[in-house]
Amino acid sequence: MGPRDRAGGIAGRAIAGVSGTVMESTSAHRTSNLAREDGIEAHAWSMIRGLARLSRDPGFDPGRPQAFSARPNGDLVSVALGESRAADWCWWPGRGWAPGATSQDPEVRAQADLYLPFCGPSPPGCRAVGHLGQSLDGFIATGCGDSFYVTGPENIRHLHRMRALSDGVLVGTETAACDDPRLTARLVPGDNPLRVVLDRRRRLPPGLRVFTDGVAETLLCCDRELVRPGRDRQGQARVLGVPCRAGRLDLRVLMESLAHRGVHRLFVEGGGALVSAFLAQGLLDRLHLALAPLVIGTGRPGLRIPAPDRLVDARRPPARLFRMGSDLLYDLDLRPQDLCRDETHAAQPSLLRVF
């Protein structure tokens, strides 16, 4: 019997001998730890939202280095840049937000690493970030479209955070038809984005929740030839006509139209064909690819883009890896290499256990 076996045996006898007292104590301890973890996670998210609001304020000067201290209620107070001991967060022109010299809980730093790239001032035009949650064998749903849920609750919460940090969230026709998503940020504190649904042929039924629930502004994008007087609404959603190219909606024109409507950060949430189209046309700044410990066998594929003949010509973008429960999230930086942040090129250990 090894040390772990002996410890387990002693614990088992102790629990039996005190009539459940130890079990109750252990359960209370676990509940307390979970409550503490939830509190830290909520505090971290509050900080992220505060930094996003601050940098998007019209009075914020992105060309000037700045430092801020966080109050217990989450408010951010400007401090002198030289007061490094008092700074929780620093803004550096050309680099963005970075944690200050003060100690931070690992949960706060983890959220900062993942979400700070999306907390800067509004970029010119419309910039897109894609997301796919897929199985180990590369599928996002079964053959009949069942996708509830490929990834775990931690990644689902991540989707809601990305929606809250974005001006708009975009899905394709099949995702809207099969999942009937609400596309809100209801699982986390934050504002709902503009909901954008692509439906080139206007085949989607008007009873879908995005068209009827009224909880967020919604835009249905279709072939502009199908927009006529009296047909400029889909339920409560407005209809935007977009020109087609080679039988598909012109995504570049779509992004220009969204930018004119104040959508500078677009979260492309699915499905696989839509994210693949954005990737193939070079329209994604980043791609979040979540891998779940799940094997489907066959079904609806995730990424499908034109393949090179030689492996050396395949893209290998700078990547960061985050654990989300049992899922692993790859944060892929798809911008031109001279724009990629330095940390994406940092040396990585040859072997690192992440769970």
DSSP characters over 110-127: HHHHHHGGGSSSPPSS-E
Range(s) of the chain covered by CATH 3.40.430.10: 122-307+314-336
What is the pLDDT of the chain when averaged over all its residues?
A: 87
Helix ranges (H only) for 229-346 are: 251-260, 272-280
Burial label, 213 (beta-carbon count in 10 A; 0-12, 13-18, 19+): middle
At the topology level of CATH, where does 122-307+314-336 sit?
Answer: Dihydrofolate Reductase, subunit A (3.40.430)
Q: What is the pLDDT of residues 258-306, one digit of tens each?
A: 999 999 999 999 999 999 999 999 999 999 999 999 999 999 999 999 9
Q: What percentage of the chain reaches a pLDDT higher than 70?
A: 83
Q: What is the pLDDT of residues 16-69, one digit of tens each?
A: 334 444 444 445 555 555 455 688 888 889 999 999 999 999 999 999 999 998
Query: Does position 11 have pLDDT exceeding 70, yes or no?
Result: no
Longest dimension (CA), the chain: 80
Strand ranges inside 167-236, DSSP E: 168-171, 194-198, 218-223, 233-234
Q: Bridge partners of 327?
A: 324
Q: What is the pLDDT of residue 256?
A: 98
Question: How many whole angstroms from its chain centre is CA 309?
Answer: 32
